[in-house]
Structure 1
Amino acid sequence: MFPIRDSASRVVGFSGRILPENSTHPTSSEQVTEVAKYLNSPETAVFNKSRILFGFDLAKLAIKKFDYSVIVEGQMDIIMCHQAGFQNVVATSGTALTPEHLILLRRISNRVIMAFDADKAGFSAATKAWQLALSLGMEVKIAEFKEGKDPAEVLLSDNGKEKFKEALKNSMHIIDFYLSKILAEENQGNSLNQQKGVSLIFLKEVREKILPFLALIESSIEKSHWVKKISEKCGIDEKAIWEDLKKVKIEPGVAGVIVQKTLNSDKATLYPERKDSIERRIFGIINWQSKIIDIKNIKDRLKEIMVPEDFKKWEEASEAVLNKATFEAEQYYDQKKIQIILEELLRELEKEYLTKKLNEKLTLKEQDQIIKKLAKLK
């Protein structure tokens, strides 16, 4: 049984492995694969597996420190990674990688290494994940493990930690990864058939497997770099590559992600006013330290200070906005001084609202009352 936690380390669900009642204890990893199935808690208001990454609460600081995240598929993979000292690793919770998962990671680092299982199913899942990440403007690399092993199996093998570390070190950009695979197959085919020059199958592979990824890259400079590299490696004229690239149609699902990227851009988390910045810090602390602070008391005080529309905005804020606010609170504030910090922030927030109110049409008496309140807060 694995507890699933949100970004503030609060348990929001569980994932468990189910074994058939009458099965004997498996004696090999192959038997485990055959009989084991994982079941997640049903989705609730607080648990949405499309938005929660397993281990994110433990990995986020390491992701920020090393400026990249590593994504694996299963709970055992991530547990073995963290035990081996690879702290910037996260996993999906019984679902394919979603745009929400990637947006969550992108807020900390734009760089991601995919370390999915090396079997066909894992490769298929990874292909979709790569497309999503590229469409969100992320730098995507692939860590490949020899002999078709998954990360947990690699780490359990002899010198597993060094092998895993080497796989991360040698991870390749998605286009480089596919290019090397296709070139290796072409060279092998030419050797067997004693053929010179590129084959039509090779050209088709480049067009169907590499160009769709290239089409998802927004930067013209980056695209130009890859077109030149493909041309040099494959012996294809650059103009021909550009012409075929124009014909590539992005799948509707991926195109939808690009639209979603715009809707979920960092504009949603920009706070031009000082009061908004203070509110973000307060609600970040509430989300982070919910176990040790009196949330009801804090929220009652906020209701007295804030206008109803502003309070409602934060109560209904998206998980992405709250996650960012929580992460900032963890980064900037000392947990031991959290009560003192909250008092200071509440006082500053009240000053901001009172100062703003002074700009409204008020009677002299109302102005005098606000000025006196401000004097007490200073």
Structure 2
Amino acid sequence: MIDQYTIDRIIDAAEISEVVGEFVTLKRRGVNMLGNCPFHNEKTPSFTVSPAKGIFKCFGCGKGGNAVNFIMEHESLSYPEALKWLAKKYSIDVKEEEETPEQIKQKDDRESMMIVSAYAQKYFSRYLNEEIEGRSVGLSYLRERGIRDEIIKKFDLGFCPDGKDIFSQNAQKQGYKMEFLEKSGLTIKRDDWVRDRFAGRVMFPIHNVAGRVIAFGGRTLKSDKNIAKYLNSPESEIYHKSRVLYGIYQAKRDITRLDKCYLVEGYTDVLSMHQAGIENVVASSGTALTHDQIRLIKRFTPNITIIYDGDAAGIKASLRGIDLVLEEGINVKVLLLPDGEDPDSFSRSMSSSQLTAYIAENETDFIRFKTKLLMKGANNDPIEKSRLVNDIVRSIAIVPDAITRSIYIQDCSRLMDVQEEVLYDQVRKIIQKQTEDLQKKSYRDNHQNPFDPDFDPEQHNQKPQVAAVKSQYTCEIEEREIIRIMLKYFHEEVFEEEDENGEPISLSVGQFVLEEIDNDGLSSDNDLINRVLDLFAENLDNPAFKPAPFFIHHSDPQISQLATDLLADKYIESKRWKKGGAFVEEEHEILDLLVPKIVQEYKLSKVRFMLKELEKQIQSAAATGNWDAVMDCQNQHINLKKVAKDLSEQLGNRTIL
């Protein structure tokens, strides 16, 4: 591990404009610098570098952070690797602290599995190209599929000899331990029985984003129906199939350059597309598409085109994948190939230019895709049409960005001949229902059911705390504003109150906010927000603590990204503040009003949610005749009403300096 002193030296030396300037042409724009974002294609520069704050932020794709984050993202490096990259640039010697035995073993085990996997890839590739069995069986199969030698080499394809444990024996002779052959899934061991997992299969190495082999897919060439056609490595310390995309290493450069990713289903689909000259393509490797896989693509582009077979299974996979991609805020298009075709066969049937033109002409947004697909069975039946519209609206409601949702609603209105107002209303209802369901689940997770036989009314008759309920999404704006205000004004003394002896004491913004949160036991549903608040609390009595650089340069990329976003984005006033005439440019002059108002709104948001939940409980209990529960809930409701009333008074009692 790199010692903290060395990390501090690297961060102090790493001038953000110098680091970014190695990869991006920057032009001075006032106190900041502007350029085209290296993470997505854009004609109008939206990539901003702030030398004063030591951060970068792209207002187009949303990426942001410090110099270390930039190198991590641009070069696909881990945090320690990015630090070493910067240390080399600034000629800083890296000294690493001694790791614990547990850390050393875990690191060594992972590295040993990586080394074993790299050896296996080289062994399988050599066997495919040099051994008689490999050439006559494996290489012949690949060439029959039309896969050229340069693609075989590009993807490190190979062949595992067909025998009980030929590979495992050779690996052990070369000094590789059975422990890591087994952990990486290459070898299956039962007591004194050993065999190769992939014996007799054509091998497709699976690379991570950095290009290291972490797993394998193997295809059998036998016709035995009892043998799985494709077999993947099992889950391991280095391989989690739900987080990996086949071909991402070979495709990432073109995905970034072209700002688009084609998503297909299998290994050979990727190979054939590359062979046809289309290299910005990855595969889900036959597994159901996951959120982690979509987020991996999102690192390189917000634009995905799903290309699946035109059969029933392909259609089903497309429909399932659409909603997942939409949920991650990605622009999704769909291309269904003609019946009987898959990306592999289709890409081999035409030239590269023809294939590119076909995709551009036939890919469609998800609304048109769903409309065309589902209208086939509607037959002008108004009931079926209604179901179709509701199906599309449910997908639109998943989209997190309000502007994108609005555009989709306009398209749906035009295509389906339904008034926009009706669609907007339906989308609002769905979103509201989803939010209420999340809130109910959160409430159930944090409360005893009053109808449960183990319910203790005495315990629940105590004065309710503001944070007894954790709400989802309802307090996101307030929580982010609280963090932003403390990032900028943590040590500024703005408030005054009396101590136990009646003597006046000054309070900083940080003390005020943390005291208010702690007094009512408030906590966020967002673990990241809680971690940031804990770090603020730990440094409350540290006069040398500088929140902005501390959080911007934090080793946790999530924390650094949050701080960058909040310091780079424009402040958004609440509706109440707009009515009150407050302006962003003057916020440092109105902290005495602004900070209590934000905290107050945060608390009231929590309380109002709890009151609504109690009202629903009262109605449910009354409907079932459970009058004891009704009385208990009413008592809680009365107490909460008092809490809501007291919030403003508690804040108003403070004297402003």
- Pairwise TM-score range, normalised by the shorter structure: 0.5 to 0.7
For 1:84 and 1:102, the matched residues in 2 are separated by 24
What does the per-residue CA deviation read over 1:137-168, in whole Å, with 9 as the maximum and x for residues that have no partner? 11011122122421111112255761454124
Do the aligned partners of residues 21 and 219 (structure 1) sit closer, same or farther apart at CA in structure 2, a change above 3 Å counting?
closer
What does the per-residue CA deviation read over 1:26-58, in whole Å, with 9 as the maximum and x for residues that have no partner? xxxxxxxx9862111111111111111111011
Contact 2:276 2:351 in 1 (8 A): no
Task: Mark the runs of 5 or more structure 1 residues left unpaired by the alignment.
Answer: 24-33, 191-197, 280-309, 322-378
Residue 49 of structure 1 is matched in structure 2 by 241
Residue 87 of structure 2 is matched in structure 1 by none
1:205 aligns with 2:388: yes
Residue 113 of structure 1 is matched in structure 2 by 305
Residue 74 of structure 1 is matched in structure 2 by 266
For 1:64 and 1:160, the matched residues in 2 are separated by 20
- The structure 2 residue matched to 1:99, chosen from 282, 291, 309, is 291
Do the aligned partners of residues 202 and 263 (structure 1) sit closer, same or farther apart at CA in structure 2, a change above 3 Å counting?
farther
Contact 1:154 1:164 in 2 (8 A): no
Task: Mark the runs of 5 or more structure 2 residues left unpaired by the alignment.
Answer: 1-202, 442-471, 474-525, 533-547, 562-657
What does the per-residue CA deviation read over 1:198-248, in whole Å, with 9 as the maximum and x for residues that have no partner? 62211212112x111110112323322322332232222223223332343
Residue 15 of structure 1 is matched in structure 2 by 217
Contact 1:212 1:250 in 2 (8 A): no
- The structure 1 residue matched to 2:278, chosen from 81, 86, 93, is 86
Specify which structure has the higher proportion of helix. Answer: 1
Residue 297 of structure 1 is matched in structure 2 by none
Q: Residue type of the partner of 1:229?
A: D
**SS state at 2:209 partner:** coil
**SS state at 2:263 partner:** strand
Contact 2:311 2:339 in 1 (8 A): no
Contact 1:68 1:88 in 2 (8 A): yes
For 2:265 and 2:528, the matched residues in 1 are separated by 25
What does the per-residue CA deviation read over 1:64-108, in whole Å, with 9 as the maximum and x for residues that have no partner? 100011111000000001111111001113421111111111111
Do the aligned partners of residues 263 and 121 (structure 1) sit closer, same or farther apart at CA in structure 2, a change above 3 Å counting?
farther
Q: Residue type of the partner of 1:206?
A: V
For 1:263 and 1:181, the matched residues in 2 are separated by 41
Larger RCO, structure (CA 8 Å, separation 6 or more): 1
Do the aligned partners of residues 207 and 264 (structure 1) sit closer, same or farther apart at CA in structure 2, a change above 3 Å counting?
farther
Residue 332 of structure 2 is matched in structure 1 by 140
Q: Residue type of the partner of 1:129?
A: G
Residue 240 of structure 1 is matched in structure 2 by 422
1:226 aligns with 2:408: yes
For structure 1, which segment, 219-228 or 124-133, has the greater mean C-alpha deviation from structure 2 after superposition? 219-228
Pick the structure with greater CA Rg.
2
For structure 1, which segment, 124-133 or 39-48, has the greater mean C-alpha deviation from structure 2 after superposition? 124-133
Alpha-carbon RMSD across the aligned residues, in angstroms, is 3.8
Contact 2:367 2:412 in 1 (8 A): no
Do the aligned partners of residues 220 and 40 (structure 1) sit closer, same or farther apart at CA in structure 2, a change above 3 Å counting?
same
Contact 1:216 1:250 in 2 (8 A): no
**TM-score, with normalisation over the residues of structure 1?**
0.58
For 2:277 and 2:250, the matched residues in 1 are separated by 12
**SS state at 1:85 partner:** coil
Aligned residue runs from structure 1 range 229-308, under 5 A: 229-248=411-430, 273=549
For 1:264 and 1:165, the matched residues in 2 are separated by 45
Contact 1:19 1:36 in 2 (8 A): no
Contact 1:72 1:78 in 2 (8 A): yes
Shift of 1:185: 5.2
Residue 204 of structure 2 is matched in structure 1 by 2
Q: Residue type of the partner of 2:334?
A: I
Shift of 1:169: 4.3
For 1:12 and 1:53, the matched residues in 2 are separated by 12
What does the per-residue CA deviation read over 1:165-201, in whole Å, with 9 as the maximum and x for residues that have no partner? 4124431111221123344655xx35xxxxxxx6221
Percent of aligned positions that are identical: 30
Shift of 1:134: 0.7
For 1:36 and 1:153, the matched residues in 2 are separated by 22
Contact 1:182 1:206 in 2 (8 A): no
**SS state at 2:308 partner:** coil
Residues matched between the structures, number: 256
**TM-score, with normalisation over the residues of structure 2?**
0.35
